[in-house]
Copies of this chain bind each other. A is one copy, B any other.
Amino acid sequence: MEKFFYPQTVAIIGVSENPANLGRGILHNMLQCGYRGKMYPVGPRGGNVYGLPVLKHLEEVPEPVDLAAILTPARFVPLAVEDCGKLGIRRVVVESGGFAELGEQGRVLEDEIKDLIKKYQLRLVGPNGIGVINMEIGLGLPFSQLCPVPRKGQISVIAQSGGVGMHVMAWMAKEGLGLNKFLSLGNKIDVQENEVLAYLLDDPGTQAVYLYIEGLADGRGLLQLAQQSRKPIFLHLPNVGAETAAIAMSHTASLASDERVVHAACRQSNIIWINSQADFLIAAKLVGQPPVKGNRLVVMSRSGGEAVVAAYGCRRWGFTLPPLKPDLAQFIHDHSRSKIIKPGNPIDLGDIFDFKVYTEVMKRLGQDPEVDAVLLNYGPVYDPERHEARQMARALVAQSAAANKPLAICVCATLEEEDFLRETLGIPVFHFPGQALRALAMSRIWSNRPPSDTPADPGRWFDPQAVAGTLGAQTADGFLDLANALTLIGELGIPVAGWRAVGDSQKAVEAAAALGYPVCLKLAAPSLVHKTEAGGVLLNLNSSDEVSAAYDRLTALAASALPPGEPWQVVVMSQIQGGEEVILGASRDQSFGPVVAFGAGGIWTEVLEDVALRIAPISPSEARRQILETRFGRILAGVRGRPPADLEALSRALAALSHLMLEFPRIQEVDLNPVRVFPGEMGLLALDARIRVQSLKS
Given contacts A309-B238, A340-B105, contact A251 B304 (CB under 8 A): yes
Chain A 619-634 interface mask (CB, 8 Å, partner B; 1/0):
0000000000001001
| Contact, CB under 8 Å: A163 / B312 | no
Q: How far does the alpha carbon of A242 sit from the alpha carbon of B25 in the complex, in Å?
A: 56
For chain A, the count of residues having a C-beta within 8 Å of the partner chain is 93
Q: How far does the alpha carbon of A166 sit from the alpha carbon of B413 in the complex, in Å?
A: 5
| Contact, CB under 8 Å: A306 / B164 | yes
| Contact, CB under 8 Å: A348 / B247 | yes
Which residues of chain B come closer than 8 Å to A640, judged between CB atoms?
A: 606-607
| Contact, CB under 8 Å: A170 / B413 | yes
Q: How far does the alpha carbon of A165 sit from the alpha carbon of B306 in the complex, in Å?
A: 10
Q: How far does the alpha carbon of A302 sit from the alpha carbon of B432 in the complex, in Å?
A: 31
A3-29 contacts to B, CB under 8 A, are 19-20, 22, 25
Shortest Cβ distance from residue A243 to the other chain B in the assembled complex, whole angstroms = 4
Most B-side CB within 10 Å, residue of A276, A608, A635: A276
Sample of 13 A–B contacts (CB below 8 Å): A19-B384, A101-B304, A147-B414, A147-B415, A161-B303, A163-B303, A238-B308, A243-B315, A244-B311, A250-B344, A251-B304, A251-B307, A251-B308
Q: How far does the alpha carbon of A601 sit from the alpha carbon of B517 in the complex, in Å?
A: 34
Question: Which residue of the partner chain B has the closest CB to A242?
Answer: B315
Most B-side CB within 10 Å, residue of A251, A309, A316, A415: A309
| Contact, CB under 8 Å: A304 / B247 | yes
Task: Kindly state whether residue A252 has any CB partner on chain B within 8 Å.
Answer: yes
Could you list which residues of chain A lie within 8 angstroms of chain B, going by C-beta atoms?
A: 19-20, 22, 25, 97-98, 101-103, 105-106, 144-145, 147, 159-167, 170-171, 174, 212, 214, 238-244, 246-248, 250-252, 275-278, 302-309, 311-316, 320-321, 338, 340-341, 344, 346, 348, 350-351, 379, 381-384, 412-416, 431-435, 603, 606-608, 631, 634-635, 639-640
Shortest Cβ distance from residue A1 to the other chain B in the assembled complex, whole angstroms = 22
CB within 8 A of A603: which of B304, B346, B635? B635
| Contact, CB under 8 Å: A631 / B608 | yes
Question: Which residue of the partner chain B has the closest CB to A635?
Answer: B607
**Copies per assembly:** 2
| Contact, CB under 8 Å: A239 / B312 | yes
| Contact, CB under 8 Å: B163 / A306 | yes
Which residues of chain B come closer than 8 Å to A160, judged between CB atoms?
A: 305
CB within 8 A of A315: which of B244, B305, B320, B351? B244
| Contact, CB under 8 Å: B639 / A607 | yes
Which residues of chain B come closer than 8 Å to A161, judged between CB atoms?
A: 303-306, 308
Most B-side CB within 10 Å, residue of A19, A212, A315: A315
| Contact, CB under 8 Å: B307 / A247 | yes
Q: How far does the alpha carbon of A381 sit from the alpha carbon of B170 in the complex, in Å?
A: 13
Which residues of chain B come closer than 8 Å to A346, judged between CB atoms?
A: 247
Given contacts A163-B304, A163-B305, contact A414 B170 (CB under 8 A): yes
Question: Which residue of the partner chain B has the closest CB to A101?
Answer: B304
Shortest Cβ distance from residue A301 to the other chain B in the assembled complex, whole angstroms = 8
Most B-side CB within 10 Å, residue of A306, A320, A351: A306
Q: How far does the alpha carbon of A148 sit from the alpha carbon of B314 in the complex, in Å?
A: 30
| Contact, CB under 8 Å: B304 / A344 | no
Question: Which residue of the partner chain B has the closest CB to A166?
Answer: B413
Which residues of chain B come closer than 8 Å to A105, judged between CB atoms?
A: 340
A25-B382, A97-B350, A161-B305 known; 10 other A-B pairs, CB under 8 Å? Answer: A147-B415, A163-B304, A164-B306, A166-B413, A171-B431, A239-B312, A241-B315, A242-B315, A246-B344, A607-B634
| Contact, CB under 8 Å: B250 / A309 | no
| Contact, CB under 8 Å: A241 / B312 | yes
Shortest Cβ distance from residue A120 to the other chain B in the assembled complex, whole angstroms = 28
Q: How far does the alpha carbon of A382 sit from the alpha carbon of B26 in the complex, in Å?
A: 12
Q: How far does the alpha carbon of A321 sit from the alpha carbon of B412 in the complex, in Å?
A: 39
| Contact, CB under 8 Å: A238 / B381 | no
Which residues of chain B come closer than 8 Å to A432, judged between CB atoms?
A: 167, 276-278
Q: How far does the alpha carbon of A639 sit from the alpha carbon of B246 in the complex, in Å?
A: 31
| Contact, CB under 8 Å: A308 / B248 | yes
| Contact, CB under 8 Å: B341 / A238 | no
Q: How far does the alpha carbon of A634 sit from the alpha carbon of B351 in the complex, in Å?
A: 52
| Contact, CB under 8 Å: B241 / A379 | no
Which residues of chain B come closer than 8 Å to A314, judged between CB atoms?
A: 243
Most B-side CB within 10 Å, residue of A174, A311, A607: A311
| Contact, CB under 8 Å: B308 / A348 | no
| Contact, CB under 8 Å: B163 / A311 | no
Q: How far does the alpha carbon of A346 sit from the alpha carbon of B248 in the complex, in Å?
A: 10
Which residues of chain B come closer than 8 Å to A341, judged between CB atoms?
A: 102-103, 250
| Contact, CB under 8 Å: A174 / B415 | yes
Shortest Cβ distance from residue A345 to the other chain B in the assembled complex, whole angstroms = 8
Which residues of chain B come closer than 8 Å to A251, judged between CB atoms?
A: 304-305, 307-308, 348
Q: How far does the alpha carbon of A348 sit from the alpha carbon of B249 in the complex, in Å?
A: 11
Q: How far does the alpha carbon of A302 sit from the alpha carbon of B97 in the complex, in Å?
A: 14
Q: How far does the alpha carbon of A285 sit from the alpha carbon of B559 in the complex, in Å?
A: 67
Question: Which residue of the partner chain B has the closest CB to A277?
Answer: B432
Shortest Cβ distance from residue A84 to the other chain B in the assembled complex, whole angstroms = 25
CB within 8 A of A252: which of B22, B246, B304? B304
Which residues of chain B come closer than 8 Å to A98, judged between CB atoms?
A: 338
7 closest cross-chain pairs (CB), A and B: A161-B305, A163-B303, A251-B304, A238-B312, A164-B305, A276-B434, A244-B311
| Contact, CB under 8 Å: B238 / A413 | no
